[in-house]
């Protein structure tokens, strides 16, 4: 179990960072997922752990979205009781979150500037993908799950996985090209 967790924890953490754009929240999600796997699924065979862990992690990310949505609904409700003539009329909780999160992400310590720049562009593009597209693309190609496993982890049909992956590839390549990153440099 420990070896398995060690082998997946970094990828899981990055997946969560791409999804929630907050390193502390991402770390909490990864820790919760590890705890759930260790506590509830200790009797499962080792070959079932990757899919189980992905399912738990994706559910935890969705729970985080739900909690954030509920929280922002409450904040909006309370702010409507506030003073109406103030600057916070146009306040958007997502804008605040984004600003806060930008300061929360540590800079890459990579010595190779070009590589780190390329990686940064790719990571930014992945963050910009719609949630389901990003989920499908990362599970399928980063976690190397097959279509059926990805569908099980995402709780959708295999057809949806294929559609999400196809759209994610299309969107990603366009985003990378827009940032001046050619397909040659992705292949390098």
Partner 1 sequence: MGVTMNEQDFGRAIAKKLNAGLADMPAEQVSKLNQSRNRAMAAYREPISILGLATVGGPSANSKFGWLVKPMILVPAAMIAIAIISANIWQDELQNDQNDGIDAAILSQELPIQAFLDNDMETWIKAGE
**131 is a site residue for partner 1 (CB under 8 A):** no
Under rule CB under 8 A, residue 182 binds partner 1: yes
Residue placing its CB nearer to partner 1 in the complex, 38 or 94: 38
Work out whether 165 is an interface residue with partner 1 (CB under 8 A). Answer: yes
26 to 45: interface string for partner 1, x by CB under 8 A: -x--xx--xx-xxx--xx--
- Quick count: other Cβ atoms within 10 Å of Cβ 23? 15
DSSP string computed for 26-73 = HHHHHHHHHHHHHHH-TTS-GGGHHHHHHHHHHHHHHHHHHHHHHHHH
Q: Does 109 bind partner 1 (CB under 8 A)?
A: yes
The token pair that represents 34 in the structure block: 């590890």
Q: How far is the CB of 68 from partner 1 (least distance, A)?
A: 21
157 phi-psi bin (left φ>0, alpha ψ -120 to 50, beta other): beta
Per CB under 8 A, which of residues 77..106 are in contact with partner 1? 106
Within 8 A by CB and 6+ apart from 133, the residues are 164, 165, 167, 168, 171
Residue 46 sits in the site that holds partner 1 (CB under 8 A)? no
33 or 58: CB nearest partner 1? 33
HSE of 109, CA atoms in CB hemisphere, 13 A? 1
Contact between residue 61 and residue 127 where contact means Cβ atoms under 8 Å apart: no
Task: List residues binding partner 1 (CB under 8 A).
Answer: 1-2, 5-6, 9-11, 13-14, 23, 27, 30-31, 34-35, 37-39, 42-43, 106, 108-110, 115-116, 118-119, 122-123, 126, 137, 140-142, 144, 165-166, 169, 172-173, 182-184, 186-187
């Amino acid at each position: 179990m420990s070896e398995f967790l060690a082998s997946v924890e970094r990828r899981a953490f990055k997946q969560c960072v791409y999804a929630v754009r907050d390193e502390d929240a991402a770390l909490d999600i990864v820790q919760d997922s590890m705890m759930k796997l260790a506590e509830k699924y200790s009797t499962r065979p080792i070959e079932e752990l990757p899919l189980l862990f992905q399912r738990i992690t994706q559910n935890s990310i969705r729970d985080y979205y739900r909690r954030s949505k509920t929280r922002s609904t409450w904040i909006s409700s309370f702010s409507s009781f506030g003073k109406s003539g103030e600057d916070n009329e146009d306040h958007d909780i997502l804008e605040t979150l984004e600003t806060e999160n930008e300061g929360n992400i540590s800079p890459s310590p990579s010595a190779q500037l070009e590589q780190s720049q390329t990686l940064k562009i790719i990571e930014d593009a992945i963050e910009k993908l719609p949630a389901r597209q990003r989920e499908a693309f990362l599970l399928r190609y980063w976690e190397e799950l097959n279509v059926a496993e990805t569908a099980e982890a995402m709780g959708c049909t295999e057809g949806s996985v294929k559609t999400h992956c196809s759209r994610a590839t299309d969107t990603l390549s366009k985003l990378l090209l827009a940032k001046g990153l050619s397909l040659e440099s992705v292949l390098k």
